Amino acid sequence: MKKIALFFALALGSLTLANAQETKVLEAYESMNIYRSELANGNVDVAIKNLLDAKAAIDMATQDPKTAGKSKTWKRKVEVYLTILSDTNKSSKIVPLQATALDEVIAAVKKARTVEVNEKTGKPKIFEEDQLTMIMNTIGIYAYNAGIKASEQKMYDVAALSFEKAFDLKESINVVDTNALVNSFISANMAWQETEDKAKKTEMQDMALKLGKRIIEYKFTDAPLYSAISDIYLAKGDTATALKTIADARKQFPHEAGFITSEFNLYFSMKQMDRAKQALDEAMVAYKDDKDMLRNLKFNAGFIYDQKKDYETARKYYREALDLDPKFSEAMNNLAGTYLEEANPIINEMNALPLNETAKYKAMKEKASALYKEAGIILEQAYELNPNDKLKRTLADLYGFLGDEEKEMKYSK
C-alpha cells in the first residue's frame, strides 16, 4: 500500500506543476485584462504593474517545456509584448523594454504559427489564427515605421533590417509589400556606401544583393535597381558579374540608354577596348539628341582610339566633341596630346641618330615640328580658357623646341 500511495503522490505533484505552468498563461491573460481596465479608468501606475506582471508570467510560460510547445502560449506573448511596444505612457519601467519588444513580438508570432502541429492533418495548429493574422499586419506596420525612423536618422543598416522584417511579416500572411522590400534594398545600398567599417560594408553589400534578387524574383524591377546591383558587384571586385547584370538589364530595358554607357564603362575598366567601342557606338546613337551626353561619348571614343595609338581617329572624335562644346578644355588637352604623343617617338629616334645622318635628322625634325605646331595652336586656346602653370610650362618647352623665342619668353614669364 505504501508504494501505491507514493505513486499517487508523485502523480499529483506532476499534475500540480503542469497546472502551475498553465496557470502562468492564464495569469498573463488576466493581468492584461486588468491592465486595459485600469488604463481605461486612468490608473496608469496600476495598469503598468499588471502589464509587467503579465510579462513576467508569460516569460515563465514560454521557458517551460510543458507550455512552450503550445501556440496559445506564444499568442499570449505576442499580445503582451505588442502592448509593451505600443504603450505610450512613458513609464520608466516600460520604455527600456520597448527597444527589443518588436523583435520579441516577431519571434513570438513565428512560434505561435509553427510550434504546435495538428496530429490529424499534420498542419500547424494555430491558436486564434484570424486574430494573429491581424496582429501580424499591425506589427508589419510597426516594423515599416521603424524603418522610416531609422532612415531619417541615417541609420541605414537598421532601416534595412526593419523594412525587411516588415516585408517578411506581410509575406507570411500572403501580402506582398513591394514598398517594404524596395526600401530595404535602398537602405542596405545606402548603408554599405556610408560606412567605413569593412565588415559592415561587406555585410550590407551582401544583404543588398540578396534583397535585389528577391525584388527581381517578384518581377518588380526598374532600371536603377540593376545599376545599383551592378555597382555593388563592381565595388566587390566582381567585374564579370557586374557586366552580366548590365547585360541582363539591357534585355529587360532595351531602350534604357544608361545601360549602354554602363556597359561601356565596365568594358573600359576591363581594358576590353573593342567591346567598349562597340558599346560606345550604340550609346552615341541612343544619345544623338542629348548634346551634353553626346559630347562626353565623343570624348570617350577619342580616348579609346588615343589608347590604341590611332591618333587620326582619336582626333576626329576629339574635334567632334569640341564642335559640340568649343570650351571643352579636356578635349582640347587630349587633342593636343595626340600630336605630342605622335611627335615624341620621332624626337627620340631623331636624337639617337648618328651625327652623319643630317638629312634624315632634318626630315624627322620637320615632321616632329609640324606636329608640335599643331599641338601649340590647340594648347594656346586651352590656356586662354584655363590659364595654369602646368600648361604654361608645357607651352614654353614646346616653343623652345620649335625655336620660337618670342613665344618661349611669353610663356616662361
Residue 102 falls within a domain, yes or no? yes
Grid coordinates given for 144: 515599416
Residue labelled with grid coordinates 510550434: 115
pLDDT value of position 329: 92
Mean pLDDT of 11-35: 72
Residue 228 has pLDDT above 80, yes or no: yes
| Domain tally, the chain | 2
> For residues 84 and 101, is the Cβ–Cβ distance under 8 A?
yes
Q: Is position 406 within any domain?
A: yes
Burial class (CB in 10 A: 0-12, 13-18, 19+), 59: middle
Q: Which residues contact 172 (CB under 8 A, 6 or more apart)?
A: 113, 136
| Rounded Cα gap, residues 53 and 80, in angstroms | 10
- Domain end marker among 127, 162, 180: 127
At 153, list the grid cell.
536618422
Q: Band of the pLDDT at 1, cuts 50, 70, 90?
A: very low
At residue 21, the pLDDT reads: 55
Q: Could you give the CA distance from residue 367 to residue 371 in angstroms, rounded to a whole number?
A: 7
- Enumerate the β-bridge partners of residue 124: 117
Does residue 97 lie within any of the structural domains?
yes
Helices (H), 173-287: 178-194, 198-217, 223-235, 239-252, 257-269, 273-286
Concatenating the DSSP letter of every residue in 365-394 gives HHHHHHHHHHHHHHHHHHHHHS--HHHHHH
Residue 183 lies in a domain: no
Write b or e for each residue in 77-102: b if 16 or more Cβ atoms lie within 10 A of its Cβ, otherwise e. bbbbbbbbbebeeebeebeebeeebb
Q: Is residue 13 pLDDT above 60, yes or no?
A: no
Residue 217 included in any domain: no
Contact 370, 362 (CB under 8 A): no
The whole-number pLDDT of residue 12 equals 42
Whether residue 9 is predicted with pLDDT greater than 70 in this model: the reply is no
Q: Which residues contact 155 (CB under 8 A, 6 or more apart)?
A: none
Q: Which of 85, 104, 127 is the last residue of a domain?
A: 127
Residue with cell 629616334: 349
The Cα 171–Cα 118 span in angstroms is 23
The answer on pLDDT for 190 being more than 90 is yes
pLDDT at 10 over 60: no
316: β partners: none
pTM: 0.67
Residues 177 and 157: their CA atoms lie apart, in Å, by 19
Dihedral sign of CA atoms 192, 193, 194, 197 in order: positive
Cα–Cα distance, 284 to 78 (Å, whole number): 59
Question: Does some domain include residue 410?
Answer: yes
Whether 277 maps to a domain, the answer reads no
Please write the tens of the pLDDT for every residue from 110-125: 999 999 998 889 999 9
- Note down the domain range covering 80: 14-127
Average pLDDT, the chain: 90
Cell numbers standing for residue 204 = 550590407
Q: Given a cut of 60, is residue 19 above it in pLDDT? A: no
Residue-wise pLDDT for 318-332, tens only, equals: 999 999 999 999 999
Three-state DSSP string of 111-155:
HHHHCCECCCCCCECCCCHHHHHHHHHHHHHHHHHHHHHHHHCCC
Q: 67 CB contacts (<8 Å, ≥6 apart)?
A: 21, 22, 24, 25, 61, 73
| Closest by Cα among 102, 100, 27, 25 to 63 | 25
Assess if residue 167 is contained within a domain. no
Reported as a single tens digit per residue, the pLDDT across 130-170 is: 999 999 999 999 999 999 999 999 999 999 999 999 999 99
Residue 175 has pLDDT above 50, yes or no: yes
Of the two residues 95 and 252, the one the predictor is more confident about is 95
Q: Which of 366, 371, 378, 384 is nearest to 321 (CA)?
A: 378
Tell me the three cell numbers of residue 55. 510579462
Q: How far apart are CA 258 and CA 210, in angstroms?
A: 24
Once rounded to an integer, what is the mean pLDDT over residues 76-80?
Answer: 95
What is the reported pLDDT for 7? Answer: 43
* Last-in-domain residue among 94, 127, 160: 127
For residue 20, what pLDDT band results from cuts at 50, 70 and 90?
low
